Amino acid sequence: MLERSGRNVLLTDAGRELVDHADVVLEQLERAQAAIERVQGEIAGEIRLGFIESIAATLLGPIMSKLTAYPRVKLRTMGVDAQEPSDLIRTGELDISFVVGTHEAPTDVPDGFHRTMLFRDWFRVVVPASHPEAVKRLRKTGKKTKNAAAIDLSLLADDDLIAPPTDNTCGLAAVASYREAGIEPAIAHRVADYPTSLRLVAAGAGVALIPDLGLQQVPDGVAVLDLQRPRHRTVELITKSSSAERPAIQALIDVVIETCDEMNLDCYENREE
């Protein structure tokens, strides 16, 4: 089944064949379990949910509160990197997970997986309320500090940028947005936590690009401006197709969709794939 390759161990042809058959057997077992749960007519069981840090801070609390309507469902959560959820689901460490796609395309979901498109998370430019560009736009529009007139990022070329690391989807989006405007960002603070980024902006430490999900609670001293070249990320749920038939998994998906709708996010109308 296995053969050595240097310090690593690889599957032989026979090993790969066994894995393929094992995947089929496990999928049938999962479908059988889902069928039993449906026949029993009870929404119950343990669900292991993977979440991305930038999503958990805003969505996880409301989701868990709504799940109390299903007392026999036990939710277990685990933080994951954006690149690993499908592998963790395939190996059985997770049942379902949030994933994040880019402005250009949703995530690449493997065969045998079920995807629920949740919402487009639009990026906004967050600057100190006293910033000259914010003052100018607020005066022109007569609006307060949120969603004032759009701005070209080239006007912020001299400002320090507060952004997540570039191995993060949002960090990549920030860099791509600046380069699309013809400038290279000066990243002074690498912060993956949106509440912290907002506090740094309010303190005058720089500017940031933050998606709508991270702007549910905007502190005083901060102005939120639209981008002249809009950019978003996609937020989705993925699970194995066989697991999607479980009543408890479907209940969780319904709760997540309801939560996103109540938060007035840019939700997809056609969600299932």
Q: Is residue 95 over pLDDT 80?
A: yes
pLDDT tens-place string over residues 237-248: 999 988 888 889
Would 272 be classed as within a structural domain?
no
Same domain, 245 and 113: yes
What whole-number distance in Å separates Cα of residue 205 and Cα of residue 199? 9
Secondary structure class of 155 (helix, strand, coil)? helix
Would 273 be classed as within a structural domain?
no
Contact 266, 211 (CB under 8 A): no
Would 25 be classed as within a structural domain?
yes
Q: Is residue 264 over pLDDT 60?
A: yes
Would 83 be classed as within a structural domain?
yes
Same domain, 73 and 126: no
Same domain, 57 and 192: no
Handedness of CA 147, 152, 155, 157 (dihedral sign): positive
pLDDT tens-place string over residues 129-161: 999 998 887 765 444 445 556 899 999 999 999
Same domain, 126 and 250: no
What is the extent of the structural domain holding 224? 122-232
* Residue 23 confidence (pLDDT): 62
What whole-number distance in Å separates Cα of residue 26 and Cα of residue 17? 14
Percent of the chain as helix, strand, coil, to the nearest 5: 40, 30, 30
**Burial profile 2-21: b = 16 or more Cβ within 10 angstroms, e = fewer:** eeeeeeeeeeeeeeeeeeee
Would 106 be classed as within a structural domain?
yes
Which helix (H) or strand (E) is 15 found in, with range? helix 13-40
pLDDT tens-place string over residues 79-90: 887 667 888 998
Same domain, 154 and 109: no
User: pTM for this structure?
Assistant: 0.79
- The CATH number for 98's domain is 3.40.190.10
Same domain, 221 and 243: no
* Residue 205 confidence (pLDDT): 96
pLDDT tens-place string over residues 190-231: 998 899 999 999 999 999 999 999 998 899 999 999 999 999
